[in-house]
Chain A
Amino acid sequence: MIDIKGVSKVFKGKKEITAVEDVNLQINDGEIYGIVGYSGAGKSTLVRMFNGLETPTTGTVTINDTVMSDLHGKELREKRQKMGMIFQYFNLLWSRTVLQNVTFPLELTHVAKEERQAKAEKLIETVGLKGRENAYPSELSGGQQQRVAIARALANDPELLLSDEATSGLDPKTTDEVLELLLKINRELNITIIVITHEMHVIRKICDRMAVMDAGRVVEEGSVFDIFRHPQKEITKQFVSEEETPQLSDTNVVIKELLKQVPTGKIIKLTFHGDQAKLPIISEMLRQFPEIDLNIVDGSIHQTQEGSIGTLYLQLLGDGQEIVDAQDYLHKMRVETEVIRGE
């Protein structure tokens, strides 16, 4: 269990910069916890306080009953050996082969040579790079390099894995592969993973719970499913909508175009959660209100760890009362409706 209490970090220099301000978080064992925010929000500084690369100016980071800022020298190094970390630019040693990169942390802890070798080979297999043991990082693709970095981070059997924008330098397909790998590691080895990212997609795909950071503060926190369903703060809504409809601007264009062509009608946004996303609610609505004409402007369904979330933009044409009744019907079916443009 990780307990962050009242943590702030102020960098003193020519100008004082408060990178992290009064952050309180609890992260449970075995969970994948996401911290999302734009660059400069303080998430990298926060995650560096987990393994003592930064020390909080005030407040405490407690990891499994150990207060990190109480540790110094040897104790701190031993604690760090029980935490893995992966980075945006992989940070592999280019002078070492894949195998030697993975044995690196084991050399630091003076594990015997044969044991190092065997362990590293097993981990390389886990991350799907069997056969590339003797390649150098420069001979690997970005996704492969990140796999090596993950294997390296797991070498000392960590209780915690910190991922600092680990997929930000990768293309979408490779990102998904690396995320799958993190999910597999979390499930098979029961390692707590903290994921720092600016991509909501990453959070949705693998995280159980999440926090949104803005200007050094945690502005929203909770289960990924809840936050996707009911984002409270403006910045969270921004993140969620970016993820829901990557072409949101396109949708607006489509709505404008539709409104121009058919000046009548109402545009509403429907949000389906979990089981409703699987039910034929719209066709049922059309059967009950046959006078309504319907245009689908845009739609998408996303899978989160807890279930699917669907979004649908509809243009409704027809009798005003009938449309209101239809909206009531949707409401009864527990589908959220939001009027984008009235009549």
Chain B
Amino acid sequence: MFNQYTLVRRSQVSFKGILLVPLVTFALALLGSIVLFGALGANPLEILYRLLIDPLSSTYNISEVVIKAAPLILIAQGLAIGFRAKVWNIGAEGQLIIGAVVASIIPITFPDSQNVLMLPLMMLAGMFAGAAWAGIAAVLKTRFNANEIIVTLMLNQIAIQILFLLINGPLKDPMGFSYPQSVSFPEVAMYPLLSPEGLLRANASIYVVLLLSVVALIYVTRTFSGYTLLVGGLAPDAARYAGFSAKKAVWISLLIGGAAAGLAGMGEVSGPIGRLQPSLSPGYGFAAIIVAFLGALNPIGIFVAGTFMAIIYVGADGAIIDAGLPPAAPTIFQGMVLVFYLASFALVQYRIVRLQPEATA
């Protein structure tokens, strides 16, 4: 039974197919979620409404979507550059945490500062820290050939413990009783809010994300370095023959991915959170992996996919409270998205061919 069919790579992948993949994927994952959670007793129509309509139904909810879209898109743009080169940075969550921790040291040290340079300084600190944390994996990969998937994952676990250690120690608010959290950041350490009245939480970090998305687009489509990374991933032998260094690809991929995740971490503490605390991200670092693939590793696609994923995040928050959706639902949904993406992408990439019976022997 297994040997009767095979897949043959299509000579030309249709553009329409590429566009259809994310749509079909989302539709299937939504359908899967409705069936699963409906079977568990939630009202399917209510879930659909909460997930897709509710997040866009008020200015406040749209602002919440923007808050969640910013880190997802930012991290995914960084990771995608590595994924194109087949460098598997799975450690964005840890890079986000380290970026946030290091950036936080500045406002925690100068809580009464009114120096407007603090925010840009924190952005730099977050980027450098995230890149340095990912750089550990780059050193180990290039010098010792250590698998970057396992190293970046282990670094996630270590990053969490570093955060816990510091937030219970030197970075803890001395006046904060037993709560493991830092002092509130001064205004100069925060991204300015988009709405002047301060009723909405969305902040200027989305402009940074937009700008960097454009930079990513230029990088992958217009520069030699971005092209090299792509070739290195698709045809490592050809790339090596042409003089492209695999080591350089590892370094560039991990440093860019780490910097993006670190900046996203800084954006959380300088945005919706406003201080350093033990929980910084609802798994943005992992969700961004899915966003990167769903966006076909293309900066524009990632922007769209990240926005969709943010809508689902905000919708799921509401549905967990109001429609009896289990808290694990967003993770299950993300898993389903990636599974359906891989399957539907394969159908665009390959044709199913029936093998001749005598040829299998």
Please say whether chains A and B are actual partners in one complex: no
- Using a CB–CB distance below 8 Å, which chain B residues touch chain A? none
Residues of A participating in the B interface, judged by any CB pair closer than 8 Å: none
